[in-house]
Each structure stands twice: as structure tokens, then as C-alpha cells.
Structure 1
């Protein structure tokens, strides 16, 4: 379109086209809304949770359950304070004196590392039997009160546990941090002393952006820690926080790997420079791998955590962090807690340790009443110690669950592409096919996600894709029901008496073809007319005439519709039909010719019936022509008919009437004959080369021969002899032509075309013809 034409295009009409509702636009609107919700979710603060986040989180859990448990390597397991340990050692927490024997047995069994998800932040109260000897000793001392207070603050169990930890050598003690300053107010706990116990285990290798330091990352700072007592902690270099940070719904899906600690007093004043410490799981994994920990920061928060082997012989391990800047790892859970490798504390105490005991054990309470239930996607009653086990296993086996950095781009692309594809395809097919298409597409994507995405440890958002797909299906289906389905009913109502139901169903898929106007197409038009209808109508009452015509029209119409033709109209006693519209048909000339022959067969049956009933003899003539014609809805906006117009249509109507001149019943033009896809199925003979009234160009016409199969060879001889006579006629060899036509009559006595040409030859041989006469017979009347 030229620029001037574009500028002159009515703006209101352009706006109308843009705003005009359609099923495709309905799908695109749903796609836009889905995309908006997803982009909004990406832009929310880290801890905010909207409907998209909730949906994706629920589907994340469901996919774990569908995937099912996976086998662990056996390198790490849980040392459990279970119910039978309660029966053995009594109340929880147990006396600290039991652990020395437990650790000795475990070390002999080959356990390399033990992590504590149990805290000893207060001195153990002495039992009376532990104090008798000491009481006797200090009874005689003058400072009995002070010595008694000192005695109460110490316990043989604490000394025993501290000694056992030192002797085992590779025990990582757990602690927990305090996130909020108000928890520190009016507290008598010695936060600074507890903080100092972490100095030996802090991470020294920290990579900051230029100009940044740890104090600048306020969102990452915690303000207090609770550690084991001084006697138990000793000078251990192995400490890690054991906080299990759940999501807002209480499930634990991620694990923090490092934490920045800045101790403060009860007024919020910093007591020491901040440090970075590892989690219990990260500390155990790094120490088992003999690797150092390096934490990388970017402008927002923690950008990466790497493990560097101390001997530089093993490759560096980059941990795939969840990109919230908090240094968290998505936990690739292995199943319900009962599926994790476990060793009861009682069995360890009694030295009932299996030979395949894991070299790393994490000790935690699992007995009823220990109150350490931390739900996972697999198990609502999952014990907290199991999360540490899973994280260590993830790191050691590098079997991670990741949220790739490219995920948002791919998720957006999936929404946009699927939205466009679904909207385009679903607008073209019906509700059942749409449902099947959507179901197949979603099922295929489910298997791709199960085996190649989530199944390979990659978490991509799929919830909005499923929601969008279902919404587009229902949105387009409902829209089509209230709008396009109404148009289809209009199509069906308009064409149910003129088209085969199968053709109507195809047309209903494209109801826009019913708009006012037409298009040029190559079609075959059909006209039939009852011979002597005026005389017949005069001999019958209107009621009997109506019955007769209805009985005639019914089988004729059925033949047209069964061949996927269009019944254009009834014109009194005449029938007009078209093949090739509104639905394209490649072999429309063949169908028109075959239908014409079937009509004569059906008419013959009716003629016998009418003869028995004493009704008049009724015969028909048929004209067929193939060519370009305009087809469409012709009329006004208020009322229109689906029909065909053009010279090719007019010629078909003329050919029907010309049957009377030749005594034939079916005449087709040369255009129909030459367009036949399977001409061998029919026998056609050239009748003449004529010029009809209103046309300047001559056209060759052919009779479609109807005959019993047994007479086929005889009819072929008739055609051959007749066409030889026609050739002699055009050469103005009148007598020779007459002789040939008479030979044709010997084969078929009532061959009216031969009789017509005998009369014509007798007439023309007495006429003075122009020497340029070309054999064209001109009809002066219709």
C-alpha cells in the first residue's frame, strides 16, 4: 500500500479491525496476561510470594513426588537419637557422658566425619551421684558457697563430651544464628564469647567487588550465634550453622551454605568485625573433600561459592546457587526420611555398627518429641537432620537441583511461542480437536520436562505454561461458542438443504466465506429442465403437480449432495447446481458428469412408477459447463444467496436447452470434457461446433452417452461412425456425410443427432454457402 493510500485509510475502520474480537485475539490476550504475571513475578522482592510463585512452588514439590526417590551413594548418613535410643538412655537430651563410647566405636568402624545437628549451649546439670565425692571434698573448705556454685556449673558429662570431640578430631559442631536484633535485647547470654568460638572456622577466602566490604551487605548479616559451651567446644576448628530455613509454607526446599555474622550487644551496637561462616553441611562436605571454601560477592549479594581442593589435583567445584544473593542451594531431595542411610545412637553405643557404615554421619534427634520435624517436598514428617544429609550428598556427588540463569528467557519464550501457536491452531479447529491438541502438547512437554529438564536437575517454571495452555483452550472455546459457533449455525442453517453435511462441516470451519461478495474460481455448473413442463402442469391439479415435482426433486437433490455438489437453486421445474464450491473439489467435472448419469438412472425408475400411477411422462435435459466463474454471496447486506455468475454459467444454461435440437439428454462443453480427471470412465461423442445466442466464440459440444454396459462396444462404433460423418459434414461432403449418419442409424435407429445432421445436410447442400464456412452452427434463439 502506498504511503498516501495508507494515510487515507479511515482511522475508525483501522481501530475497528484492531479491536474487533476474534478467537485468535482472545488467545493472544490470555498470552499477554500470562506473560505479564510472569514478568511481575520476576520483578518482585526476593522474599515476596505471589500466585505465580505459589503455583511454581507447588508444582516443584509435585514433580519431586512424581520423580520418586533416588538412590544415594552411601557416603553420608544420619546418626539418629531415635525412639529406641530414648528407651536406652532415658530422657532427651541424653547424658553427655555416653558420647565418648559412641565416638570410639564409630572411629573404629571407619567413620571419618561426624556433624552435630544437636546443640550443647548450656552446661549439663549434675546428677547427685556425680557430685557426692566432690561435695565431701569441698565441705571442709571455708569458701564452701562459692565452691558449691562452681561445682554446679560444671559437669563430668561436659568434660567427657569435650574430651571425646577432641580425641575423635574430625567432628563438626553445630550452632545456630539469630537473624533479628530484638532477640538479643535483655538477654543474659554472652554473645561475644559465643561469637569468638567461630573464629577458627570462619571462611577467609572472600572475593568482593571493588570498593565493597562485608558490612555493606546488610541483608546477609545475622547478629548473634548460639554455640556449644566453652568446655565442649574447646578449640575445635570445625563448626557450621545448622539453621534449617523453610519457605513461607513451612517446607524446606533450599539450604543456606554460608552466613555473615556481626555480633551486637543488646542495644544493637557491633561488638566485632563481621565474619563469614559455612553451614554444617558445607563444612562437612568441604572437609571430607579436603577443599577450601571461596565465597564470591557481587554488587547485590553472594554470587558464587567454590570448593578448591588443597592438593590442586582435583578440579574446582562450583556450587550452583539459587540466584537470590543469599548463598542458598536448591536441595535435590532423595526421598522420605526413612530412605536415608541411618544408624541408631543406641547401636553405635553398643557397637552394633554395620560394615558399610557411611564415612560421614550427621547426628540429630528423630525420636518422637524431639521436635525437629522439618517438612520436605517428599515428607511432611521429615526430620531436620535429613536436610543436612541431602545437601552433603548433593555436593559430594554433584547431583544438584539447579535454577539456570537462562531459565527466565526460556520461560518467556515458551509462553510467547506456545501462546501464538495455540491461538492460531485452536481458532481453526473445533473444541474436541482443540482439546486433543492441547492434551498432546502438554503431555509431550511434561515428558520433556520429566526426562530432560527437571529429571536432569534443572528447575524451569512450567506452571504458567500449563495455566496459559488451558486458559487459551477454554477462552477460545467459549469465545467460539458464543460468536463463531453462532456463525457456524448460521452457515448450517443456510446450507443444510443445499449441501452435503460433510461439506457443511468443512464450510463451518471457515464461516468467513459467507461474507457478501465473491471470488473467481474454476467450477462446473449444472442445469436441468423438465421437458414439456407447461403441458404437464396443465394436465394436473396444483396439489398433484407439487407431489410429482417433490418426488422428482428429492432423488435428484440427493445425488447432487452425495457427490459434494452445491444445490444452487430450484427455478420452477429446473435445477441449478455447482461442483467445486464452496469447498474446493479437484475432480468437480467428473462428479458433475457422473451425477448427471445417475439422475437419468433414477429418473427411469420414477418414470416406471409414474406410468403405473397414470401420471404424465416426465423427461429432462441436462447442460454442463466448466470454466471460471464468480462464486459467493450475491445480493444485499439484508438478504443474499450463495450462487455463481459469469459467461461460463450462461453457457451451461444454453447447453441444457440445446438438448432439444439434438434429441439428447446430457450435453457438456468442450471445457468440461477437457477438464475430466478420469475421461476413460465416460463415453462422450462430439455433437457439433456451435455458437449460442449472445456469444461470439464457437464452442464444441459433446453428448454424455448413457447405455447398458453390454452395449458399450456398440456405442463406441456408433460414436466412431457419427464423428466420421461429422467430419464429412464440415468438409461439405453432404452425400457422403448423409451416408455415414445413416450407417449410425443402423446401429441405433433412434439416434436423434444422426437424424438432425441428415436433415441439416439435405438443407445445406441446396444452400449457397460461403467458401469460408467453418462448420459452426449458429443458434439465433436461446
Structure 2
């Protein structure tokens, strides 16, 4: 039975945890949602773009702009077909016979490698003046039949002097990588007149020889890497160089280029979509130029998912010279570490190269591409929406040569998940205890610190970690908890204010509202000072007044007494008829609660004296009070039921305080405190306390020393000290059972203050005990039989 009860209790606790909303659970719920979105993002197909991907992509761009431009080494630059080149050579594309001179000038200037991001996929059509002599010879050869005549004209049209000139220039320069572009889908090849297989054959010399596959794997099994057709330069041009690289700049869905594919698998396919042989792996234009400039071979390692790594090996070494970090989608893509706007790249105009106006510090590697208006090769980057496509090839080469890579570490997802979980729990726990302003400062400080760490030590060092979900979660938890507090805990605060506005100082209420959980049903043990006051002869007074006048009199009395309690940050526990109960030290801790209770008691007597004068002038009865104070451990908290409860104190220490209030009548005093209150005073020198007696109250077995809190004017202080000395000397004689000496000493006290009620009480008591006698074991304790 007991075991079942425990199980039921545990189930109830678990159910209560999940069903009862709190600010902490609000934060955890937000953390769970953000974690779910992040995990879902990791599981999506590589090209899918969800909320997380969109957020991180935008922040990726922003972080580049915040980081700012980086200076390039000057090893790589652009050879540009710019606006002034168009003015020089006419419409785009330019006549091909100009390039032979351009290449010769660049070679003489010390340029080592040139890459072409410009394609010559079709023969250049002859100009009429170039063809007149040949046409005349064809015309004179009358023996040609119509078919031979047509073929002769076709050969004439497709053998342009410009193509031969460009071919000679490439053959003479030698270190040139020609660009081509690939076709991703077979459907784009169908029914085309282009000779796809001949174009594919021009790539064979540039294929990557060192490709490492897992056991049992072949290139055509990696479908996402496959392309099925290529467009290369014409045979006349392409045949003059064995270095070829694809120049495709593949943008993302928003048009920006953030990654660059470094290798691609090409399958020989004809215009009917039929495969003709095995696929080959070819490098990009940028990778080919970088490897050739370093005189290194390219090695591509595959794993089960795709390309695992790409390394550059010097021809005379077995150790890789450069290991290129890849984005982990298996497609051999490099995260481009952008350097800035296009204008920041070293640039050489084609016109200047043609006219041999080449600077001495010309980069040893040049990539030729169109930048002039109308060339339609704009490929936006995070830095520049008008970035030209040729600039991305330059950036990739610079990244590889300097090894200044942007990386997405393999450990990134695990660290990002851990960050969300840890920060979500910590933020939820801390923010539930903070106000909205403090929470904003805390969250802001954390986010700024994280931003600086990312700027200088993570992204600034080329490591791309997702930060968007951390920022989003942190801000969401802040607003979620703040809104939750506003609609729920604010309601609790209103309940607190409503419940305590008549019992506590507003400043104390504000402190209490910062911790409304202190008002849960139940109590806790604390050291406090309890106060009881009662009106003397209230029954007689009430019989002499009408109910209306009695109520008015009590309200006039209670109002200033309550104000004194609240002003000293005491808690007005309750009114009990004509009695007042108050506590110092709860619900907000106060170190000097005994001192405040004593000071407040004295102020009440001062205020009562003013009221007595007023009432006397109005013909109202004389009203006086007695006060009892005690300090000790007591249980404080909300006592009652879930539907209705009171914040109060309970315990023996409370009961003793109530007894001391009533005992005032026996000694003719107005304020009595226990020895526990006296000994707990933080500043005892401010008060004058007279030991009255050692008593045992009804219901208590242990005797307690009691003291009268003396009320006096500043001019009376020394006189009161004399009274206390005389009285306490007489008290010592009384406890020694020296009745006559004690009586005489008490009478001396009366000479200092005539009609001193405690002295009169003890003179009468001494006379009684002298007559009746006492037990031989009598210890001086006076036992009260009634409350």
C-alpha cells in the first residue's frame, strides 16, 4: 500500500511538472523548438533551404561585411575585357587575332599562368576581306561538283585566321588553362547539333589521374557529382593546350556565390542521352591554375558519401603540400573566403596588355574574363552585388595559394547542438530569477561576448559555426520568459500587492514581488521578533460607547500604530479585536529586527499620548495599551488552504510574546520584552531596559527573564539609569530572600520615581513571601498560573 502511494505521488509530481507552466519551462520549451529546427536542418537534403539555412546564410554574409575586406597578396589578378577594351576593339566578343599579341606581351612581362574564363566554342566567322582571295581560288576550280564546292566553302568558313592566331598564341605561351562549362542534365543535350563527344575528348588530357575511391566504388555511383556534357573551345584553339578547367560559377537560390566546386565528374554522353564510356574527374579553372602554378598534382579522395578531401602534392614529395578543406556535402565544394569588392582585386585591362602598358608588378597568375557593361557575367558575392564572375576564380586561387580557407568543421553540428542545450538550460534557469531589465542586460552581455568571440576567434579565423540559432534562441527565451512573467507572474505580483498592501511597507512589497515564490503555501523556520499590543480595559470602554463611536475610536488608534509598523518595514500580521500583532524580519530579512520592534513600540506610546490628549478634549474615554516583544525561532509562511491563506507566524516564541503583553498588567508596565529580544539588539546602547523578573508563563516549563523597555525624555536618561540601578539591586536582594533589605531598596527606587509600579509590586510581593514563606529550593522564578 505504501509503495503504491509513493508511486502515485511520483506520478503526480511528474504530471504536475509537465502540465503546470513556469518561466523555466517556457525557456526549456523554446530551447526544445530551436533544437528541433536545428536537427531537422541537419537531416534535410543538401540543397534544401529551411528557416535555419536561410538565417545562417544571411548571417554568413553579414559576418563577412562586419569582418571587412582583406588585402590580397598580388599573386593573382584579373585580365579584364573592360569598357575601354570595347572602345578599342569594338563589340564583344573581340576579334580573336588580337590575343596572340596580348599573350606575347604578357609572357614578356613575366606572367606565369593565364586562365580563360572566356569561351571560344564556335569558330569565328571570317570577315569578307579575309575570304576574297580564297573565294577567287574556289571559283577558278571549275572541276568541283556541287557537293565538293559546298564542303570547300564550309571549311573556309570554319577555319578563321583569328582562331589560328589565338591557337598560335596559346601554343607559344604554353602555361594557359582554358575554361569550359559543363551541363548538369541530360535533357539539355538532347536534339542538339553540338558535337558533345568531340568536346568531351578534348578534356581527357586534363583529367585528374590520382583519384582514390573506397573499395568497390566507381565514379558513376556518385550521382550528385555527375555531369553529362561539356562545351569546350574549338579544336583549333583547344588542341593547343592540355590544361583545361571548368569555369562554372554556381550560385545559390538567392543568386549569391558562397561556394566553389573544385572538381566534377563528366560522363561522355551524346545528343541522344546515350553514354559512351567511363566518366572522368576534372578540376575547376581555379584549382587547375593553383596546382599548375605550384607545380603540384591533384589527388581527390572519396568516401561513401562523395568527395572527402582534395590534396595538392608536389611532384617530388609523398606528403601533401596543401590539404583543401571542403564543405561536408560530398560534392567537393570550397567555402569561398571572400576578400572584398571586385574593385579590390588586381586588374589589368586587355587594352593595356595589347598596347604593352603592363605594370612591373603584374601578378604572375591572371584570369581573363569579361567585366564590361553588357558582358553579362555578374556573379554577386556577400561583399558586392556587382561582383564579376572572373573575380570568384581569382578568389579561389588566392584561397588555395595562401591556405586562407573558410572552413565548416566536422565538429560544428555537435558543438552547435551542445551550445543550444547548455545555453537554453542556463538562460532559462537564470532569467526566471531576474527582472526584465536585468535579464536584458544579462542576455545582451552574453550575446555581445559571443559576437566578439566569433568575430575574432571563430569566423575571424576562418571557421564557420552556426550562430543564428543561438542568437534566435537567446532572444526568444528572453522575450518568452519576460512575456510569461508579465501575464502570469505579474498576476502573482498583483496578488501579493493586494494581499500585503495593508500589512507591509510598499518598499517591502516591491522586494517581495521579486520573489513571489516565497508566498507558496507552507512555512520556514526563521529568527524573528514578534509584537503584541492590547488595549487596557477595552470591555469597559466598549460598553460606554456606541458601536459607531467605538469603531471610529479604534480606527483612529489603529491608523498611526499601523503606519509606525509599516514605516519600520515590519509586517502587520493581523488585528485581533482591539489587539495588534506584528512581526519584524519577514517576509524580507532584516538584520536589526529586534531594534526596529523596540523603536516602533516606543513610537507607538508617543503617538498614543498625543491621541489621549485629543480624546480627552473630545470627552472620549482614556485608552491605554500594553506591548509584549519576543525574539526567537518561529515558523513563518502562508498558513491555511490553497483557496485561502494568511501569512503569519507560529511557534512557542510567538506564544511567549503574546503572554508578555498580558503580563504588563501585573507589573504596571507598558512594554515588556524577553531576554531573547534584549540579547539580540544590534545597538543596545540606544535603549534603557530594566530587568523586571524571572517568570514562568502558563504552558511553559522553562523560566525566562523579562525586561521593561523604559520610555524617557533625553533629560531624564540619568534619572532612569539611577532607577534601574536601585531597582535591580533590590531585585537581587529579593532573590536572595532578604525581604526587609529588598523592601528598603525598592523604597529607595520609589524615591527616584514616585509611584514606580514594578517597585510597588515587589514591595507587596516581598511582604507576602515574608509572611507565607518560600520553599527551600526556591530560585526566584515567579510562576503565572493564568495567561
Q: Aligned pair in 2 of structure 1 residues 355, 611: CA closer, same or farther (>3 Å)?
A: farther
C-alpha separation in 2, matches of 1:370 and 1:576: 92
Measured against aligned partners, the alpha-carbon deviations of 1:607-627 in whole angstroms (never above 9, x if no partner) come to 455556665544322111122
* 2:754 is the alignment partner of 1:752: no
> 1:404 touches 1:458 (CA, 8 Å); kept in 2?
yes
C-alpha separation in 1, matches of 2:62 and 2:750: 88
Query: What's the offset of the Cα at 1:8?
Result: 4.9
For 2:222, the equivalent position in structure 1 comes to: 217
For 1:87, the equivalent position in structure 2 comes to: 87
Name the SS of the counterpart of 1:111 in structure 2.
coil
> 1:200 touches 1:236 (CA, 8 Å); kept in 2?
no
For 1:336, the equivalent position in structure 2 comes to: 341
Q: Gaps spanning 5+ residues in structure 2: where?
A: none
Alignment map for 1:195-206 (pairs within 5 Å): 195-206=200-211
Range 5-14 or range 279-288, more displaced: 5-14
Alignment map for 1:560-709 (pairs within 5 Å): 560-610=565-615, 616-709=621-714
Name the SS of the counterpart of 1:419 in structure 2.
helix
C-alpha separation in 2, matches of 1:668 and 1:598: 15
For 2:54, the equivalent position in structure 1 comes to: 54
C-alpha separation in 2, matches of 1:683 and 1:108: 109
Name the SS of the counterpart of 1:766 in structure 2.
helix
Q: Aligned pair in 2 of structure 1 residues 230, 694: CA closer, same or farther (>3 Å)?
A: same
Query: What's the offset of the Cα at 1:303?
Result: 0.3
Alignment map for 1:733-772 (pairs within 5 Å): 733-749=738-754, 751-772=756-777
Range 342-351 or range 41-50, more displaced: 342-351
Query: What's the offset of the Cα at 1:230?
Result: 1.3
C-alpha separation in 2, matches of 1:212 and 1:315: 24
* 2:353 is the alignment partner of 1:348: yes
* 2:271 is the alignment partner of 1:266: yes
Query: What's the offset of the Cα at 1:87?
Result: 1.2
Q: State which of 421, 426, 433 in structure 2 corresponds to 1:416.
A: 421
For 1:252, the equivalent position in structure 2 comes to: 257
Q: Aligned pair in 2 of structure 1 residues 330, 704: CA closer, same or farther (>3 Å)?
A: same
Measured against aligned partners, the alpha-carbon deviations of 1:670-697 in whole angstroms (never above 9, x if no partner) come to 2222333443443323211011223222
For 2:64, the equivalent position in structure 1 comes to: 64
C-alpha separation in 2, matches of 1:10 and 1:197: 76
Query: What's the offset of the Cα at 1:4?
Result: 5.8
Q: Aligned pair in 2 of structure 1 residues 194, 548: CA closer, same or farther (>3 Å)?
A: same
For 1:132, the equivalent position in structure 2 comes to: 132
For 1:24, the equivalent position in structure 2 comes to: 24
C-alpha separation in 1, matches of 2:276 and 2:7: 73
Q: State which of 483, 495, 500 in structure 1 corresponds to 2:488.
A: 483
> 1:77 touches 1:361 (CA, 8 Å); kept in 2?
yes
Q: State which of 279, 282, 287 in structure 2 corresponds to 1:277.
A: 282
Measured against aligned partners, the alpha-carbon deviations of 1:17-40 in whole angstroms (never above 9, x if no partner) come to 432222222222221121111111
Range 381-390 or range 744-753, more displaced: 744-753
Alignment map for 1:33-44 (pairs within 5 Å): 33-44=33-44
* 2:199 is the alignment partner of 1:194: yes
C-alpha separation in 1, matches of 2:715 and 2:180: 106
Q: TM-score, normalised by structure 2?
A: 0.94
For 2:728, the equivalent position in structure 1 comes to: 723
Q: Aligned pair in 2 of structure 1 residues 70, 748: CA closer, same or farther (>3 Å)?
A: farther
> 1:81 touches 1:364 (CA, 8 Å); kept in 2?
yes
Q: Aligned pair in 2 of structure 1 residues 712, 155: CA closer, same or farther (>3 Å)?
A: farther
Name the SS of the counterpart of 1:693 in structure 2.
coil
Query: What's the offset of the Cα at 1:739?
Result: 3.5
> 1:103 touches 1:164 (CA, 8 Å); kept in 2?
yes
C-alpha separation in 2, matches of 1:346 and 1:716: 112
Q: Gaps spanning 5+ residues in structure 1: where?
A: none
Measured against aligned partners, the alpha-carbon deviations of 1:288-327 in whole angstroms (never above 9, x if no partner) come to 2222111000011000011112343996211110000000
Q: Aligned pair in 2 of structure 1 residues 7, 638: CA closer, same or farther (>3 Å)?
A: closer
C-alpha separation in 2, matches of 1:559 and 1:107: 99
Q: Aligned pair in 2 of structure 1 residues 615, 452: CA closer, same or farther (>3 Å)?
A: farther
C-alpha separation in 2, matches of 1:550 and 1:349: 107
Q: State which of 498, 513, 531 in structure 1 corresponds to 2:503.
A: 498
Name the SS of the counterpart of 1:245 in structure 2.
coil
C-alpha separation in 1, matches of 2:10 and 2:336: 60
Query: What's the offset of the Cα at 1:385?
Result: 0.9
C-alpha separation in 2, matches of 1:73 and 1:128: 46
Measured against aligned partners, the alpha-carbon deviations of 1:488-540 in whole angstroms (never above 9, x if no partner) come to 22222111111122322333344344344433333221111233444544555
Aligned length: 782
> 1:514 touches 1:632 (CA, 8 Å); kept in 2?
yes
Name the SS of the counterpart of 1:585 in structure 2.
coil
> 2:260 touches 2:336 (CA, 8 Å); kept in 1?
yes
Alignment map for 1:364-513 (pairs within 5 Å): 364-513=369-518
Q: Aligned pair in 2 of structure 1 residues 664, 350: CA closer, same or farther (>3 Å)?
A: farther
C-alpha separation in 1, matches of 2:2 and 2:356: 93
> 2:112 touches 2:175 (CA, 8 Å); kept in 1?
yes
Q: Aligned pair in 2 of structure 1 residues 29, 125: CA closer, same or farther (>3 Å)?
A: same
For 2:782, the equivalent position in structure 1 comes to: 777
Name the SS of the counterpart of 2:496 in structure 1.
helix
Q: Aligned pair in 2 of structure 1 residues 706, 287: CA closer, same or farther (>3 Å)?
A: farther
Q: Aligned pair in 2 of structure 1 residues 315, 202: CA closer, same or farther (>3 Å)?
A: closer
Range 669-678 or range 695-704, more displaced: 669-678
For 2:119, the equivalent position in structure 1 comes to: 119
C-alpha separation in 2, matches of 1:370 and 1:276: 30
Range 492-501 or range 603-612, more displaced: 603-612
Alignment map for 1:106-185 (pairs within 5 Å): 106-142=106-142, 143=144, 145-185=150-190
C-alpha separation in 2, matches of 1:554 and 1:340: 83
For 1:554, the equivalent position in structure 2 comes to: 559
> 2:182 touches 2:231 (CA, 8 Å); kept in 1?
yes
> 1:209 touches 1:298 (CA, 8 Å); kept in 2?
yes
For 1:233, the equivalent position in structure 2 comes to: 238
Query: What's the offset of the Cα at 1:463?
Result: 1.8
Q: TM-score, normalised by structure 1?
A: 0.94
Measured against aligned partners, the alpha-carbon deviations of 1:355-375 in whole angstroms (never above 9, x if no partner) come to 332222111111111111111
Query: What's the offset of the Cα at 1:137?
Result: 4.5
Q: Aligned pair in 2 of structure 1 residues 712, 117: CA closer, same or farther (>3 Å)?
A: farther
Name the SS of the counterpart of 1:523 in structure 2.
strand
Name the SS of the counterpart of 1:554 in structure 2.
helix
Query: What's the offset of the Cα at 1:170?
Result: 1.4
C-alpha separation in 2, matches of 1:705 and 1:79: 102
Measured against aligned partners, the alpha-carbon deviations of 1:246-298 in whole angstroms (never above 9, x if no partner) come to 11222111000011111112233222321111111111111222221110000
C-alpha separation in 1, matches of 2:454 and 2:267: 43
> 1:634 touches 1:640 (CA, 8 Å); kept in 2?
yes
Q: Aligned pair in 2 of structure 1 residues 740, 356: CA closer, same or farther (>3 Å)?
A: farther
Q: Aligned pair in 2 of structure 1 residues 113, 555: CA closer, same or farther (>3 Å)?
A: farther
C-alpha separation in 1, matches of 2:712 and 2:181: 103
C-alpha separation in 2, matches of 1:475 and 1:413: 21
Range 96-105 or range 151-160, more displaced: 96-105
Measured against aligned partners, the alpha-carbon deviations of 1:368-406 in whole angstroms (never above 9, x if no partner) come to 111111111222222111111111111112211111111
